[in-house]
Amino acid sequence: MKTSKLNLSAITITALVLFLAGSISSCGSKSAKEENAEQTEEVEGHHHDSTEAEHHDHAEASDNEGSGSIMWMPSEQPFSGQLKLVEGDAQKLNAATSSDSDGSKVLSLSLSGERALLLFDDTFEDLGSNLQFKTDGFQGQVAIVHHYIDDSNYDYLSLTNTSMQLGRKENGKDKVLNKEENKWPLDWATLTVSSAGEHYKGSLNGKLVNHGHGETRSGGRVGILLEGKGKVMLKMMDVMKLTE
Amino acid sequence: MQNLLPDWAPNVHPMLVHFPIAIIILAVFLDFVYLIWKKDWLRNSVMTLFAFAVLASLVTYLSGRQAVDSVSVPMNAELTASYHADWALYTLLYFSSYTAIRAFLSWKKIEGKRFITILLFLAGLAGCALLAKTADLGGKLVYKYGVGTQKAK
């Protein structure tokens, strides 16, 4: 009886020592994965610096060389970059590139009730995306779509004249993840969406408006969905892969 | 509530977050002591501490949910924030269930059996791993990404 008690005490002491050893080792050193991630971040930082310079020198519209991020700006020739017109008629949209007062290029699209869908080719799982846009007499919705598989399966953050909404199209059925009342921006605005695990957030001009939850989805394409009547101007869109 | 906070505190979450960590670790430690030194007051203390730990975890979890929408989270920290919230929920659910089972065993007066006490201690230890993962992600949000170190504008 005494021996069995001693054995049990020895087991518990061993368990505690192993736990403490595990805690110390996990706190004390960075994992190789974490170090690699930090190195990648540094490389990406340099990568962006160099490509920003390229944007000024040439009219190239986007870049993504496997770094996990894309940045698009309009080129002289509409829809010639990585952001491709997937749905909508380029002629009907009266697509034109002009220069803004700050010198940056702007892609103007005129809609008359139809849908226009622009998508990047690359797919993303956990992602963050910014869209810089402005409207002129526009009635409808401006949306960032992500996890786009097809017209019946995608996630989105949409802004209308009255509200901002995080949603999910699943087999054609629309599911609202979060909806908040919101006013339409009068000037240039930045619409931001993040999809991190089961958490989805939507911001307008840096102010968090939506926070919703949904099951994680496998990777899909990212882009812009416009629907309504009026003029929409697009200045910049970026997409970044999120890592821990 | 906001008026009671010091100027530097963005919300109540950083004030509360250490309570469940400290209480859970103390409870598991005393549970270990109870394995060696069988005293009723130790067993009762462990049970009481786990009950407080669940309460503290619940309040801290709710404060965290409120906090994440009130501070500025950089885009590259969103995934860490998401995992932190998820692991916090797993930890809360784990210790809530664990404490309920423990209370049931105590009520049935079978908590004191040697085999059960060892099993409960090991289960508490496993819960500490969930707690450690949650705390690690929370620490990363603050010290790597600076979340909560300035108020959202």
For B105, list phi and psi in degrees, rounded to 5: -65, -35
Q: How far apart are CA A226 and CA A140, in angstroms?
A: 8
Provide, as residue numbers in chain A, all residues whose Cβ is less than 8 Å from the Cβ of B68: 211
Of A8, A41, A192, the CB nearest to B114: A8
ipTM of the complex: 0.84
Can you give the residue ranges of every domain in chain B? 11-143
Q: How far apart are CA A35 and CA B145, in angstroms?
A: 15
Give the pLDDT confidence score for residue A140 in this predicted structure: 94
Provide, as residue numbers in chain B, all residues whose Cβ is less than 8 Å from the Cβ of A70: none
Contacts across the A-B interface (CB distance below 8 Å): 64
Q: How far apart are CA A48 and CA A71, in angstroms?
A: 9
- B75 and A128 within 8 Å at the Cβ level: the answer is yes
Closest CA to A190 of A123, A236, A127, A139: A236
Type of residue found at B9: A
Give the pLDDT confidence score for residue A18 in this predicted structure: 55
Q: How far apart are CA A30 and CA A27, in angstroms?
A: 8
The residues near A217 (Cβ < 8 Å, ≥ 6 apart) are: A125, A147, A155
Give the pLDDT confidence score for residue B6 in this predicted structure: 84
| Per-position pLDDT tens, chain A of length 244 | 455 454 545 555 555 555 555 554 444 444 444 444 444 333 333 333 333 333 433 333 455 445 689 999 998 888 888 899 999 988 889 888 988 888 889 999 999 989 999 999 999 999 999 999 999 889 999 999 999 999 999 999 999 999 999 999 999 999 999 999 988 898 999 999 999 999 999 999 999 999 999 999 999 999 999 999 999 999 999 999 999 8
Provide, as residue numbers in chain B, all residues whose Cβ is less than 8 Å from the Cβ of A12: 32, 35-36, 118, 121
Give, in order, the Cα–Cα distances in Å from B47 to each of A8, B10, B27, B33, B54: 22, 33, 8, 13, 11
Q: H or E segment at B73? A: none
Contact criterion met (CB below 8 Å) for A194 and B78: yes
Q: What would the mean pLDDT of B42-67 be, rounded to a whole number?
A: 96
Q: What does DSSP assign to residue A175?
A: E
Provide the token pair at B111: 């908590």
The residues near A164 (Cβ < 8 Å, ≥ 6 apart) are: A157, A158, A179, A180, A182, A202, A204, A209, A210
A34 or B35, which is more confident: B35
Q: How far apart are CA A11 and CA A40, in angstroms?
A: 43
Closest CA to B147 of B40, B41, B69: B69
Provide, as residue numbers in chain A, all residues whose Cβ is less than 8 Å from the Cβ of B152: 208
Of A23, A198, A240, the CB nearest to B132: A23
Decide: helix, strand or coil at residue A54. Answer: helix
The chain A residue lying nearest B69, using CA atoms, is: A208
Of B76, B86, B152, the CB nearest to A197: B86
Query: Looking at the domain A69-241, which fold is it?
Result: Jelly Rolls (2.60.120)
B106-139 per-position pLDDT tens digit: 998 887 788 999 999 999 999 999 999 999 999 9
Count Cβ atoms below 10 Å from residue A20 Cβ, excluding itself: 10
Contact criterion met (CB below 8 Å) for A95 and A83: no
Contact criterion met (CB below 8 Å) for A235 and A118: no
| Min distance A27 CA to chain B CA atoms (Å) | 8
Contact criterion met (CB below 8 Å) for A50 and A69: no
Decide: helix, strand or coil at residue B87. Answer: helix
Q: How far apart are CA A119 and CA A213, in angstroms?
A: 24
Count Cβ atoms below 10 Å from residue A13 Cβ, excluding itself: 13
- A8 and B32 within 8 Å at the Cβ level: the answer is no
Give the pLDDT confidence score for residue A42 in this predicted structure: 36
The pTM of this model reads: 0.79
Q: How far apart are CA B113 and CA B131, in angstroms?
A: 27
Provide the token pair at A123: 């797919």
Lowest mean pLDDT among A30-34, A127-131, B3-7, B77-81: A30-34
Q: What would the mean pLDDT of B79-86 be, rounded to a whole number?
A: 97
Closest CA to B28 of B98, B90, B87, B89: B98
